[in-house]
């Protein structure tokens, strides 16, 4: 089973740290919130380490 990242908007501060943490460029800032481009997410979990708000989780793809 494959998993992909998603952002819990109620926890996301929009700081953008995750934008630079993803080696695949799967994060994008849209109107003060962060979104994941699922097609680019490779489930490496690098984003989990950088998100101090705990707003990033993974779900089955």
Q: What is the CATH number of the domain that holds 10?
A: 3.30.70.20
What does the DSSP assignment read for 13-41? ----HHHHH-TT--EEEETTEEEE-TTT-
Residue with tokens 């995750």: 18
Could you give the number of structural domains in the chain? 1
What per-residue confidence (pLDDT) applies to 1?
63
Task: Kindly report the pTM of this predicted structure.
Answer: 0.83
Kindly report, residue by residue over 2-53, the tens digit of the pLDDT.
Answer: 889 999 999 999 999 999 999 999 999 998 889 999 899 999 999 988 999 9
- What residues make up the domain containing 27? 3-60
What per-residue confidence (pLDDT) applies to 31?
87
Q: CB–CB of 37/45 below 8 Å?
A: no
pLDDT category at 61 given cuts 50, 70, 90 is confident
What per-residue confidence (pLDDT) applies to 2?
81
Distance in angstroms between the alpha carbons of the first and the last residue of the chain = 8
């Amino acid at each position: 089973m494959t998993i992909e990242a998603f952002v819990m908007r109620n926890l996301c501060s929009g700081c953008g740290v995750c934008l630079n943490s993803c080696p695949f460029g799967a994060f994008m800032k849209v109107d003060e919130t962060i979104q994941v481009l699922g097609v680019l997410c490779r489930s490496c979990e690098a984003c989990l380490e950088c998100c101090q708000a705990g707003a990033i989780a993974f779900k089955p793809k």
